Structure 1
Amino acid sequence: MVIGHLVAATVFVTGCDVVKTMINGTTVAEEMVNCKTSSGILMLVFTAIFVAFFAISWGPIAWIYSAEIFPLNVRAKAVSITTGSNWFMGTIMSYILELIAPLGIHGLFYLFSGLTLLAVVFVYLFCPETRGVLLEDIEETFDDFKLKNRTIIKLLRKPCNENRKKSAKVNPIEMKL
């Protein structure tokens, strides 16, 4: 999804021209976008790649994950709240096209690419895998989830741990005489 938006934005920047028509030198009356045929096809292909990967990942997962992660005693209310927030954010996203004026079409695609990348990082760091976990055990899965066990966190900590002084381990049972 990130690559789909990133490539579509870059192709737009490199293969399209935006011609603005001004009235009295101050107000933009009309914008015409002229793209090469190959650029238009590439943008269409990479937008389709985005849509395909959205359809098999973020699209359904938002509904599935929210239905799985809550313990049974709060599931109905919690899923109602997540459904409402999902619809609310969908409404907010419908107004995001108004950012085309200040950012341009390519800027909006770059913004979406960056937000998608942030979402990937968030999910990797803060959302534990729930595949194969019984609904009755979900609460325990989230209670046992530790950010420090993520591979990227271990890799980032490794250089810091190498320079740290090691302390001697003392067995309190052996200390008793």
Structure 2
Amino acid sequence: MLGYIFSDLVLNDDQYAFKLKQERKQKNEQFRSHSDSPLPEELHEKFDSLRYYTPNREWRIVAKIERLAEGDTISLQLTEGGADKYTRFARATFEVAGQPQALTLLKRASKTDPTLFVPFTDKTNGLTTYGGGRYLDVETPGENDKQVVLDFNRTYNPYCAYGDSIASCPMPPKENWLSVEVPVGEKTYKEL
């Protein structure tokens, strides 16, 4: 948590926006030329850029966390059938425009990834963002931390948002359906 506080002190709005812009530029390059790109091969040369909302520091939210019992698992349905197992790590609570919100932070059961996985839906889905929801990766808080930073500016689309049957993606569980718009992060790949 101290790292987040330090970065807030050191990174002003311009530096934050610059860093985010660089991350997005790298992702565009990966989509354009990398063999693991979720885009069909024929679209690589034509691909220009993913679409994003303008970064907004107000959507870099410090949420309270309540750790959940170890071994509390959940199966997330996949878009192409089947399910993936995850472990519920913690429940993050926060407010948006005076409305209480909550998200379950998940650990990938089959991976040793140090980040937590947060699939969610919000009121922008199917309008300006991918209809099936978006994802957010969150740094795993320390053992004694009571808060976590949810930087919604870094939300991204699942790979299945970029083409037919490219990937089978975990769908956000009902407990992660937000009742507000989250107008930051990645937008739909194509205009609706």
TM-score normalised per structure 2 = 0.26
Choose between structure 1 and 2: higher strand proportion.
2
Q: Which has the higher Rg, Structure 1 or Structure 2?
A: 1
Q: TM-score with structure 1 length normalisation?
A: 0.28
